Structure 1
Amino acid sequence: MKTETKNRFLNSITLPNYEFIITAPEFKKEGEEFTIWFFEGILEKNPNYVDCLLYLGNAYTTHGMYEKGLSVDQKLSRLRPNDPLVHYNLACSYALLKNIDAAFEVLEKAIALGYKDIYHLERDKDLAYLREDVRYQKLIEKIKKR
């Protein structure tokens, strides 16, 4: 079949109808569960794929799997030792696991590396356990001075 578009003829392809059913249980997963399964699969073959690790760490945290998120964030901090956002995420993981001292130590490093998004820092629910500590306000002041 040919279609006319502004004096041009384009060949169109018609594929035969083919119906198939995927029965593997992995494909029955939905939402974050599927996302986690998918990224874990990619990382089996490419364990240092940074973008995939970033997404997986976020998916773990969103799904409440804080220990796994921490493990991913620790790996990312080794792969990208000078990335302020990676260290910020690592601080969030420590905070979610109520390891307050480690969270402040890594958050200090994130700020030293250039993290400066005060708006996000002050609203991030992951850091809720840090806000009652006097060190938190000192960090905010440090960012404001820059």
Structure 2
Amino acid sequence: MDKPPPRKARRQENVEIAFLEAVHKRCSHNRRVWEALGDLYTRTGRFEDGLEMDLRMAKACPHDPMVQYNLACSCALTGRVDEALDALACAVKAGYNDADWMSRDRDLKSLREDPRFRALLRKVRALHRMPPSEK
């Protein structure tokens, strides 16, 4: 994660979290709320809460590459290496293809030395170089 945001930005994020949590109490099945809360929780260091929202999203949208990628990030940030790599593999299988971002995403820093991560990164790079008809 980057350095913490300025106090004013942090206060704004806390207001947004409080608002979205209130919306979530009334509309607990709203995927947009889950996604927004997950992002805000992660940005404010509430990684376990972010993971909870990402797990909900992954259950609701199991074939969405960005949902799986975000789940991988949350798992990595909470020390769940095996789960992070499983989610990342699902993201790649579902079509995630940004090898450059994957290689430098700070949320995935804890995975970079794992041979399984390096293998996934090689796979994404190889798929990105293939013509669409061969993928």
Which has the larger strand fraction?
1
Alignment match of 1:99 (pick from 68, 75, 80): 80
**Residue number in structure 2 paired with 1:45:** 26
The DSSP-based 3-state class of the residue aligned with 1:30 is helix
Quote the RMSD (CA, aligned, Å): 1.2
Q: Which residue of 2 aligns with 1:126?
A: 107
Q: Report the TM-score, using the length of structure 1 for normalisation.
A: 0.77
In our comparison, the structure showing a higher alpha carbon Rg is 1
- Following superposition, the deviation at residue 42 of structure 1 comes to 1.1
Aligned residue for 1:31? 12
Shift in Å at residue 51 of structure 1?
A: 1.6
Higher helix proportion, which one?
Answer: 2
> Comparing both chains, which one has the higher relative contact order based on Cα–Cα distances under 8 Å and sequence gaps of 6 or more?
2
Please state if 1:86 is matched with 2:67: yes
Equivalent in 108, 111, 119 of residue 92 of structure 2: 111
Deviation at 1:30, TM superposition (A): 2.5
Runs of 4+ in 1 over 3 A off after TM superposition: none
* Number of aligned residue pairs: 118
Using the size of structure 2 for normalisation, the TM-score is: 0.83
Percentage of pairs with the same residue:
36
Residue 140 of structure 1 aligns with an amino acid whose one-letter code is L
Q: Deviation at 1:136?
A: 1.4
Letter matched to residue 55 of structure 2: Q
Structure 1 residue runs of 5 or longer lacking an equivalent are 1-28
